[in-house]
Amino acid sequence: MTPHAACGGMSAAAPTLASSCSKPSQPGQAMNAASCFQRNAESVASHRCDVAEHRWVNNRYKYLRLSAKADLAGTTKAGQFYQLKCPGTSDLQPFLLRPMSVYGVGPEAGTIEFLYNVTGLGTHALSRLEVGDSMDIVGPLGNTFVLEAGCQRILVVARGVGLATMAPLLQHAARAGIQITAIMSARAPKDLMQDEFLRGVEAEVHCVYDSDGTSSVEAVDALVRRLLDTEHHDVVYTCGSHRLLMLLQRLLEDYPGTRGEVAMEQRMACGMGVCLSCVRLFHSGGDKQFLRVCREGPVFPIRDVVGEVEFG
């Protein structure tokens, strides 16, 4: 996860934990994650929501639509997340809130949507909620994807639950008249969720699968290069997958005119930057510093992410 093929070590100077804002150092450069967070922090609140819709999309993912009195649609942006309080059961009382990327908002002011993988104790408890039940959420949290003025075409590379994170970005880009190229990756065709990802947005779609080998690093590398060589893309966006992040970071070395952004997936507890459980190492100028994925992120420039870091 660095702008160089291999950079897993620490710099000579000890990295610092940063939480300050800074403005772009070059014209056209997006503001850093801390700046974006400061712009959105005033809208963070706890909301009591009612379950308006809750259904299975396939055998792994569920769709959840919540309704609140607050104007969640007006304050929530693409790339942000909420902390969800999962309900307790007779044999389980989840202690920590679960961070979940926003899948969609509106059209009603208080409506917000999530698409989640039922995989652990908390999400299994969440999956038992029925229409009419109530639950608490906290947010919106974190910063947002950046679509700069003058952007004409973007490339989105998404896999698994990352599809939910990227879906609002596609909606935003489509409303702005930006052309979209999408690479969707899944285990097999039955796992793709293409309709849930696009949600009516027109895009040039390329599907790759584990089952036939088209999702291998080599195959995706060749596909992305072909797309970038055929037509200029202003930005490449991705989410979650460490493998895709490393691939795109290495690949973008050869395309200096194309920006890259990644929505990071990271285990976290508080979601507000207090517990420091989600820190990651990032490049900052000529140095490295620790940033909190929940607060300065979750969206970061792909080139700024440092790869595997060894402590001790």
At 302, the pLDDT band (50, 70, 90 cuts) reads: very high
Average pLDDT over residues 81-103: 83
pLDDT (tens digit per residue) in 266-297: 888 999 899 999 999 999 888 999 999 999 99
Average pLDDT over residues 200-228: 96
pTM of the model: 0.83
Q: Please tell me the least confidently modeled range out of 17-21, 80-84, 169-173.
A: 17-21
- How many residues appear in the chain? 312
- Name, of 15-29, 92-106, 290-304, the range with top average pLDDT: 290-304
How far out from the chain centre does Cα 203 lie?
19
Average pLDDT over residues 32-60: 75
Query: Where are the strands (E) in the chain, listed by range?
Result: 16-17, 45-56, 61-67, 81-84, 98-101, 104-105, 111-117, 134-141, 153-159, 179-186, 204-209, 235-239, 259-263, 279-284, 287-292, 299-301
22/91 Cα distance (integer angstroms): 47
The residue to which tokens 């790339």 are assigned: 79
- Name, of 76-90, 113-127, 130-144, 188-202, the range with top average pLDDT: 130-144
Note the pLDDT of residue 183: 97
Nearest to 202 by CA among 175, 234, 237: 175
DSSP 298: S
* φ, ψ dihedrals at 275, nearest 5°: -80, -15
Average pLDDT over residues 194-201: 91
* φ, ψ dihedrals at 36, nearest 5°: -65, -40
Q: Indicate if the pLDDT at residue 41 is higher than 70.
A: no
Q: Indicate if the pLDDT at residue 24 is higher than 50.
A: no
Which domains occur in the chain, in start order?
A: 40-141 (2.40.30.10), 146-262 (3.40.50.80)
Q: Indicate if the pLDDT at residue 156 is higher than 70.
A: yes
Q: Please tell me the least confidently modeled range out of 93-107, 151-165, 187-201, 232-246.
A: 93-107
**Whether 257 contacts 303, CB under 8 Å:** no
Nearest to 104 by CA among 154, 35, 52: 52
At 240, the pLDDT band (50, 70, 90 cuts) reads: confident
Three-state DSSP state, 173:
helix
Sign of the CA dihedral running 246, 248, 117, 88: positive
Half-sphere exposure of residue 175, counting CA atoms within 13 Å on the CB side?
9
Average pLDDT over residues 211-220: 95
Nearest to 79 by CA among 17, 167, 6: 167
204/230 Cα distance (integer angstroms): 13
**Interior/surface letters 198-232, b for 16+ CB within 10 angstroms, e for the rest:** beebebebbebbeeeeebeeeebeebbeebbeeee
Q: Indicate if the pLDDT at residue 30 is higher than 80.
A: no
Note the pLDDT of residue 89: 63
Give CA angle at 135 (130, 137), nearest 5°. Answer: 135
User: Going by DSSP bridges, is the β-strand pair 134-141/45-56 parallel, antiparallel, or unpaired?
Assistant: antiparallel
**Whether 167 contacts 103, CB under 8 Å:** yes
Average pLDDT over residues 89-104: 80
Note the pLDDT of residue 91: 64
At 308, the pLDDT band (50, 70, 90 cuts) reads: low
Note the pLDDT of residue 53: 97
Q: Indicate if the pLDDT at residue 96 is higher than 70.
A: yes
**Average pLDDT of the chain to the nearest whole number:** 84
Q: Please tell me the least confidently modeled range out of 34-38, 122-126, 130-134, 222-226.
A: 34-38
Average pLDDT over residues 88-100: 75
Note the pLDDT of residue 17: 43
pLDDT (tens digit per residue) in 2-23: 222 222 233 333 344 443 334 3
**H/E element, 224:** helix 217-230
Burial of residue 179 (number of CB atoms within 10 Å: 0-12, 13-18, 19+): middle
